[in-house]
Structure 1
Amino acid sequence: MVKKNIILFLGFIVTILISLSIHIVMLQVIGVQYPDNSGIPLIPRLLNKWLSVLALFVFYYLAKDKLSKKSIIMQTIIVFCLYAMVKEVLIRANLMEGVVTTSWIFPFIKAIPQLLGYLILAFTLVVSNFFISKKWQLFSISILVACLLQFVLEPQLNSIFSPIINSYAYLAHDPIYELPYNWHVLVPAYLTFAEPVIAAFVIVHYIWEKLNGKTWQKIILVGILICLIKGMLLPVFLFTPYLKLNFIAAIASEIQFTLEFLAVGILTSFFWAWSKNK
């Protein structure tokens, strides 16, 4: 047990350092640009969102035997926290915006509609699984949920909370740090990256025994699943043509996050597999 815990802790530290360093080195050392996805058309965005929702459904499908022992409320909280943590919006993104701007409160206020959307998504997912008995139903319901999220829930939440958010807009500040970031930004960036890494380890805990194949195949599958949940596996293919950059620069801009979260999934599952042998 002691050896297992040491391996998992080592994996936690190594995953944070290697995964985030991929992004930081590409951004600050190589000079890869941060992707501007503001001009991405609806269809690629919707497809990417659906794949993220589908991946979350797949996670729950695999984890259902363990999760179903808990109440619906507890299942909803777990799924919500894992999804928001992989997306880095439970704490990290808001806290890092505060680090860069010194506006500590407004980023969390601004995130309320998104977090509520994720909470409703988690509840819908948990409840809908009572009606899913076949894999094709999981596929179909995930499409319906993604469309409702895109066209109904998110617009309604944004409409409801927009006046509230605007009333606190005076709390927003302009950035005081710019690229290349120094230790004032990099240290909290590494510390807060614990959020998605913790979520990845919990996901592996819930689904590892349900995955088929050899250990290396399971490691790759987890990497793909977590990258899909994050919504970072396909933007390099779906979003690249719409970036206002040359082809190579556009690919590099999107792929930095693909590589980052593939590393998160692969490293967490690698260390999990290693710990299981001890």
Structure 2
Amino acid sequence: MASNYHTDVRLLRSPADWLIAGVLACIIAVLALGAHDVAISHLGIIYPDESGVPNWAKYLGQIVRLATMVYVSHLARWRLDQMSPVKAAIALGLLVVFLQETVRIIVVDNIVSDGWIDRRWIYLLMTRLPNAMLSFCSGAAAVTISRTLRHRPIWAVIIVVPIVAAIGLFALLPALKGVAGWIDATLHLAEPPEVYQPPYGFYVYKYIYGTFVEPTIACFVLAYLAWPGLNGTPLRRTAAFVALILLMRGRVVATALFSVWIKAPLPMAIAAEGQFFVETLVMATLTAAVWAHLSRPAR
């Protein structure tokens, strides 16, 4: 039960537990990203170009992601309710941002293009910031929806989630992209060329792999928040947690639906989206397995 969570489980109670969790998080990060890296570098799987995905499909994906965030907020109410509404919204918003590898991608962008030279980093930041802000606002909105509609009929959530998703995707995101474009134009910034090309050397790979701890740590924190609210055996909890992370990261809809519009033969298109599904599957499954062990009943 959520209210007894900290009294009947041995959860990171010793320095050894923290050390084990930290080491395993690093190992999980390498294994999860390795699934994607092998697909790109050794199996000839392409990177998916989602520019042809229609808006209605992206909207469906955003609805699914937001609905999952609302449910995670509901599971995490045992902890989020101890915070003020603003702090809780900021906390989940940041977790969603980190789960989407936002900081990691910005760092890698700058590494492969020497973005620290001649204000290139500003252009690269403006490229990623609109989607990062949408992720943050989605997480914050999810907490607000969960708190506000907690005692309302489920149909209220079913109505509100698509409305909020539409506002985010069709109003907020274009506005943010407009501001980012205005900043680029005002500062006369242009897209920097990539200095390093695949296959990358150790200099680039150490950043590519090292920074994947960002989504992995976010995954661990989400396990901490959601695990007490999940029911059943450790195996059932693990399966439920993995499904939540896959849905929050948008990997289910992307693989099942977006693949249709990837410019490649369908099997290759599914593999292109599926590599990130597998990456997330590995990260979430191993995180849940570790958490199931760390949160086992105390003896």
Q: Deviations over 1:56-86 (max 9, x none)?
A: 1111111112101111221122111101011
Which of 121, 140, 146 is the equivalent residue of 1:129?
146
User: Which residue number corresponds to residue 179 of structure 2?
Assistant: 160
User: Which residue number corresponds to residue 128 of structure 2?
Assistant: 111
SS at 2:161 equivalent: helix
**1:93 deviation in Å?**
0.9
SS at 2:208 equivalent: helix
Identify which range, 153-162 or 51-60, moves more after superposition.
153-162
State the alpha-carbon separation in 2 of the partners of residues 181 and 42 from structure 1. Answer: 34
State the alpha-carbon separation in 1 of the partners of residues 187 and 205 from structure 2. Answer: 28
For the Cα contact (< 8 Å) 1:223–1:266, is it kept in 2? Answer: yes
**1:3 deviation in Å?**
4.1
State the alpha-carbon separation in 2 of the partners of residues 6 and 128 from structure 1. Answer: 36
For the Cα contact (< 8 Å) 1:85–1:196, is it kept in 2? Answer: yes
User: Which residue number corresponds to residue 74 of structure 1?
Assistant: 87
Residues 242 and 119 of structure 1: is their aligned pair in 2 closer, same or farther, counting only changes over 3 Å? Answer: closer
State the alpha-carbon separation in 2 of the partners of residues 262 and 270 from structure 1. Answer: 12
**1:103 deviation in Å?**
1.2
Q: Unpaired segments of 5 or more residues in structure 1?
A: none
State the alpha-carbon separation in 2 of the partners of residues 112 and 25 from structure 1. Answer: 28
TM-score normalised to structure 2 length: 0.86
Kindly provide the amino acid, as one letter, of the partner of residue 85 in structure 2.
I
Which of 106, 111, 119 is the equivalent residue of 1:99?
111
For the Cα contact (< 8 Å) 2:96–2:135, is it kept in 1? Answer: yes
User: Which residue number corresponds to residue 233 of structure 1?
Assistant: 252
Residues 111 and 245 of structure 1: is their aligned pair in 2 closer, same or farther, counting only changes over 3 Å? Answer: closer
For the Cα contact (< 8 Å) 1:110–1:165, is it kept in 2? Answer: no
User: Which residue number corresponds to residue 28 of structure 1?
Assistant: 41
User: Which residue number corresponds to residue 88 of structure 1?
Assistant: 101
SS at 1:115 equivalent: helix
Q: Unpaired segments of 5 or more residues in structure 2?
A: 1-13
**Equivalent pairs, count:** 277
State the alpha-carbon separation in 2 of the partners of residues 80 and 115 from structure 1. Answer: 10
Counterpart mapping for 1:1-278 below 5 A: 1-89=14-102, 91-104=103-116, 105-106=121-122, 107-132=124-149, 133=151, 134-168=153-187, 170=189, 172-277=191-296
Identify which range, 169-178 or 91-100, moves more after superposition.
169-178
**1:12 deviation in Å?**
0.4
Identity, % of aligned pairs? 25
SS at 1:30 equivalent: coil
For the Cα contact (< 8 Å) 2:66–2:139, is it kept in 1? Answer: no
Q: Cα RMSD between the aligned structures?
A: 1.8
**1:5 deviation in Å?**
2.3
Kindly provide the amino acid, as one letter, of the partner of residue 29 in structure 2.
I
TM-score normalised to structure 1 length: 0.93
